[in-house]
Each structure stands twice: as structure tokens, then as C-alpha cells.
């Protein structure tokens, strides 16, 4: 079993419920290929550096997961066929990289929650200025 990182761009005009639904779907896809989600980040709606399928914005999902080594092409095919995903990237992570990610996640959860709220506020003001 190898560790991978998938970044998916979903359509920008999705509601939270639809995002959660797509996360469930992706989990089931991963399960089909013998993998499981280690960590999931929602980066939220972001401006794309260039247009993708006529979209200027996209909803980013960052998933650290495991998968059977030979099944990645099939996984990518599933991403292609899933109509809410407009772009995807799957990269392999070495064991030490995934450890680093997981230790970082532990540190973040330990630090106080008020920090996170401040960050989200900053993000929202940044979007407005765009």
C-alpha cells in the first residue's frame, strides 16, 4: 500500500451539501481501489490561475490517502468520469513525507482554535478584495 496525495478541483457553484456528497463518493471510489483517506483538507473556493473548462473559480479538495500501487490509472479514470471534478492531480508521497504531513496536522489541531477563525476571516476579506 502506497501513500498518495490527490488534489481535486470541483465546480465552483456547489453548495456545502454537494461538496460533502462528493467527498463521500470519492471515499467510496478510494475504497474500491483498496485505499482509505488519511487526511482531508477543504481549501474552499479559489481563483484559478487559468480557465479550466470555462471556469474561473474552483473548489479545491486536498486528500492524503492510500491506494493499491497498480490502481492509480483506474483511480484517475474515475476522477475523469466524475462530472463534478474539473481537474485533478495525483502524486505519490514517500513514507517520510506522509509522516511529516501527519505530524503537521497534529500540531495544527493542538494549537488553539481561535487561530483558525482568524485565518478564515482573513481569507474572506482577501476574496472580497478580488
Partner 1 sequence: MKNQRKKRTLFMQKICRFCSEKIQYIDFFDTKLLKPLISERGKIVPSRISGNCARHQRQMTEAIKRARSIALLPFSVEH
Q: Which of 49, 81, 95, 106 binds partner 1 (CB under 8 A)?
A: 49
Taking the CB of residue 106, how many other CB atoms lie within 10 A of it? 9
- Residue-level length of the chain: 130
Phi, psi angle pair for 116, to nearest 5°:
-60, -40
Q: Which of 23, 29, 40, 52 binds partner 1 (CB under 8 A)?
A: 52
Distance of alpha carbon 93 from alpha carbon 76, whole angstroms: 16
Q: Which of 22, 26, 58, 65 binds partner 1 (CB under 8 A)?
A: 58
Cell 474539473 belongs to residue: 86
Distance of alpha carbon 56 from alpha carbon 51, whole angstroms: 5
**Nearest-approach distance from CB 77 to partner 1, in angstroms:** 17
Give the number of residues in contact with partner 1, rule: CB under 8 A.
Answer: 15
Site for partner 1 in 10-39 (CB under 8 A): none
User: Is residue 61 at the binding interface for partner 1, with CB under 8 A as the rule?
Assistant: no
Site for partner 1 in 76-115 (CB under 8 A): 87-89, 91, 97, 100
Distance of alpha carbon 41 from alpha carbon 64, whole angstroms: 9
Residues at the contact surface with partner 1, assessed by CB under 8 A: 7, 9, 43, 48-50, 52, 58, 62, 87-89, 91, 97, 100
Amino acid at each position: 500500500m502506497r501513500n498518495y496525495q490527490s488534489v481535486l478541483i470541483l465546480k465552483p457553484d456547489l453548495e456545502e451539501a454537494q461538496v460533502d456528497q462528493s467527498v463521500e463518493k470519492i471515499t467510496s471510489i478510494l475504497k474500491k481501489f483498496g485505499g482509505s483517506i488519511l487526511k482531508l483538507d477543504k481549501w474552499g473556493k479559489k481563483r484559478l490561475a487559468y480557465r479550466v473548462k470555462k471556469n474561473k473559480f474552483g473548489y479545491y479538495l486536498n486528500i492524503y490517502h492510500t491506494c493499491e500501487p497498480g490502481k492509480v490509472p483506474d483511480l484517475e479514470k474515475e476522477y475523469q468520469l466524475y462530472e463534478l471534478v474539473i481537474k485533478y492531480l495525483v502524486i505519490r508521497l514517500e513514507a517520510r513525507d506522509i509522516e511529516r504531513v501527519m505530524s503537521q496536522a497534529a500540531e495544527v489541531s493542538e494549537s488553539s482554535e481561535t487561530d483558525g477563525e482568524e485565518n478564515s476571516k482573513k481569507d474572506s476579506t482577501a476574496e472580497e478584495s478580488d
